[in-house]
Amino acid sequence: MTPEDRAAGSPALPALFRIDGQVVLVTGAGRGIGAEIALQLARAGGELVLVSRTASELREVAARIESEGGRAHVRVCDVTDSARVRAVIEDLPCLDVVVNNAGNNIPEPFVEVSEAHLDALLDLNTRAVFVVAQAAVRKMLRHPDRAARGGTVINISSQMGHVGSPNRTVYCMTKHAVEGLTRAMAVELAPRGIRVNSIGPTFVDTPLVRRIVDTPEKSRFILSNIPAGRLASVTEVAAAAVYLASPAAAMVTGTCLRVDGGWTAQ
């Protein structure tokens, strides 16, 4: 920080990464990336609303947050149930940040994709993302001081929202759609004080990815495409979410923060 910044009363950088007093909803918060994002946003001062289908997992995450002095609320909900997820969000007294994290992948050759798999991934990875974002923004806009308070939508996308990859046609399609949604929302909502961004991770070291990357051949293919030479960690993805949710990113909207070890730079 320059002397001019200090003279102007600019906050120290650590303070810019705080979200004290903000209510944060995270979908898919029971495990993996979602659980870590929830934990780190709680550490940054957020009051968390944890959403997923599995109550026991949500209670474990909430207990961890509360053991560190944070606040967390459990809401059991399948995000593909539009009526239920809209009701959960509408019932909140306030909402400032939503992290659209719930998602899935079913790797298989394009010609073998079943309509059941196609529908399942479209419903979860694209339609539910839209519904959650729409319900959250409607809630945010009803706050009487929203323009000054601001609001943030973070869509967890993927590096596959920017490239193509074999055996991932449906996943790539859904994540490209999320990137388009993110940009269009950002342009429309910026004048109303709401920022919208996405995070595009590479393969992250989670139980889900370990089940997918289950042979030496698959591991070699993945690591050969990551210049950094390794999988990402859940904490590295969560750090991006903390930044995008915080005042440090006050002029960042309509962009994708790619946590991909260089995959899409090639």
**Catalytic-role residue among 49, 129, 171, 241:** 171
Which residues neighbour 127 within 8 Å (Cβ) at sequence distance 6 or greater? 80, 82
Q: What is the CA radius of gyration of the chain?
A: 18
174/158 Cα distance (integer angstroms): 10
Tell me the two tokens of residue 189. Answer: 């909502």
Does the annotation mark 171 as catalytic? Answer: yes
Beta-strand relationship, 97-100 and 151-156: parallel
CA-to-CA separations, 94 to 143, 150, 242, in angstroms, rounded: 7, 12, 19
If you ran DSSP here, which 8-state letter would residue 191 be given?
Answer: G
* HSE value, Cβ hemisphere, 13 Å, CA-based, for 256: 26
Contact 133, 81 (CB under 8 A): no
CB-based contacts of 66-70 (< 8 A; 24+ apart in sequence): 68/42, 68/43, 70/42, 70/43, 70/46
Tell me the two tokens of residue 81. Answer: 């149930």
Tell me the two tokens of residue 204. Answer: 């992250």
Which runs of consecutive H residues, i.e. helices, occur in 17-54? Answer: 32-43
Catalytic residues: 171
